Structure 1
């Protein structure tokens, strides 16, 4: 049993949308296939993965550094103790050989993308959905029912309040009970008007979260907090620079309701510093670490250990990214849910065909691996890379 190839292609996921910090007009993503010599049900087992939106494709790092370390490793060194499957932890260690500590930037995305494909392959070799495999590994009871919220509300050329209202109403019509919109890309008065338009539209049918994408300095963050605290928001997200833990800690003095952050922290060490110094409150706040951006599930398991050490429940984690990998982690390891992009970043966002949102939850299908084969538009692109 061995990995015989790792393929990567960088694909555009361009869109005219923007948040408070970036536009997506030239955004790319890496799609990876980990090709094994294992055959299941007459088909070669191939694991697939891709990086989350908001970070660019990592083809150079994948092809020039991390791919080669795996392929050059002795095949038996990448297997589990029983020798009947690949070992994601050993593969991760092979990838990270000769890497200095720290520097959790672009390389964390490259490693996380390959790691996703490795776990997909491992679960397929085992013949199980990844979420059930993860639960078994941890001695937990898998819960196939996962909370999801609809992320949208981006700034878009010519998009007025009526279009924003229609977008949010569309999410409610599809079964979501929490919706999210962007703030910080306009004046505070304009954002307040947009927020009130959405709240008027959704009424008591759903809750609204707002996301500043790390845009605010302390003065602006406080001004928004004072404006926002009059509304019954689900959370106030990524208020300032992701590494400005002092700013995040200060916000608890001005905003009693839930806050969320973590999507741009890329290691368990960063997560530990957030919990040490960021003033995050385990009884109400949410953590949004995204395994596809932060060295993958192998690293995410270390992050969950850090949370446990600080008295946090995994149910306070609702990852960024809207991808099926985090859905599996949520169902298998007891996270609080997952982000969802019903209309954006296709074919990578969304769920397998036929999976519907009901009262804010989806039920995981019983598909081997991560479940990419159940999403027809996505698996078509994946199989173009490697079959």
Structure 2
């Protein structure tokens, strides 16, 4: 058993939308195929992975550094103790050879992308959904019913209050009970947007708001004083994600739930957030995204950090809107997952036929991560691998 090839393509996911910090008009991602020599049902097992939106494709790092280390390693060194499957931890350690500690930047995205593909292959080799493999391997009870919320509400040229309300209404109509919108341009612009959305929701769903790290402490406090007058699901990523003092200070002004973590890329970053960021385990939410933070192997270390700090994994609702995090949520007891009903396709969303009901989806019993169940996505993936 061995990995024959690792293929990567940098693909556009450009869209004429923006949050308070960046626009997505030139956004890309890396799509990776880990091609094995294992055959199941007459087809070679291929694991697929890609990085989440908001970080660009990592083709250079993947092709020049991390894929060669795997392909140059002795094949048996990448197998588990039974010799009957790949070992994600051994492959992860091989990728990280000759990498200095720290520097958790773009390399965490490159490694996370390959790691996703490895786990997809591992679950396909044993012929079961990844979430069930994770539950069995790490002593959890698999729960195929997963909470999901709809992320949208971006700034868009010509997008007024009527268009914003219509967008949020469409999420309600599709079964979501929590929706999210972007804020951070200015209170003068955002307060009417928030009030318009809340009026449209009319108590049938909750609203979360996301500043995407745009605000200074003073601006974040001003927003907090405005936002605390509304029944929000959370107030997300107010300032720079590494400014833990800013995050801690906000708790003095915002008693409601806050959320952050999508731009932290290691278990060390997560530990520092919990130590110094003033996060409150009874109400706040953690949004670490395995696809941006060295993959599931590292995410397991992050969950151990949470446990030591007295946090439940149920306070994690990952960023990214991808099926990898859905599997982690269902297999390891996370609180749910982000969803992009209309954006970043074909990479976001669920397998065909999966519907949102009362804010939850039910994971289908598809081998691996489940990419083969999403027809528009698997078509793109197989074009790379075959």
TM over 0.5: yes
**1:206 aligned partner:** 205
**1:233 aligned partner:** 232
Tell me, in whole angstroms, the C-alpha distance in 2 between the residues paired with 1:235 and 1:126. 39
Report the CA distance between 1:91 and its aligned residue: 0.1
Local SS of the residue matching 1:9: strand
How many residues of Structure 1 are paired with residues of Structure 2 in the alignment? 386
Tell me, in whole angstroms, the C-alpha distance in 2 between the residues paired with 1:141 and 1:82. 24
Superposed CA offset, 1:265-314 (max 9, x none): 00000000000000000000000000000000000000000000000000
Local SS of the residue matching 2:8: strand
Report the CA distance between 1:342 and its aligned residue: 0.1
Superposed CA offset, 1:133-168 (max 9, x none): 000001111000000000000000000000000000
Local SS of the residue matching 1:235: strand
Q: Trace 1:14-33 onto structure 2 (pairs within 5 A).
A: 14-33=14-33
Q: Trace 1:1-387 onto structure 2 (pairs within 5 A).
A: 1-185=1-185, 187-387=186-386
Report the CA distance between 1:367 and its aligned residue: 0.1
Tell me, in whole angstroms, the C-alpha distance in 2 between the residues paired with 1:235 and 1:277. 20
Which consecutive aligned stretches of 4+ in structure 1 deviate over 6 angstroms post-superposition? none
Tell me, in whole angstroms, the C-alpha distance in 2 between the residues paired with 1:4 and 1:149. 38
In structure 1, the gaps of 5 or more residues are none
Tell me, in whole angstroms, the C-alpha distance in 2 between the residues paired with 1:156 and 1:133. 41
Report the CA distance between 1:189 and its aligned residue: 1.4
Tell me, in whole angstroms, the C-alpha distance in 2 between the residues paired with 1:140 and 1:297. 16
Local SS of the residue matching 1:205: coil
In structure 2, the gaps of 5 or more residues are none
TM-score, length of structure 1 as denominator length: 1.00
Tell me, in whole angstroms, the C-alpha distance in 1 between the residues paired with 2:126 and 2:107. 29
Local SS of the residue matching 2:21: coil
Tell me, in whole angstroms, the C-alpha distance in 1 between the residues paired with 2:156 and 2:203. 26
TM-score, length of structure 2 as denominator length: 1.00
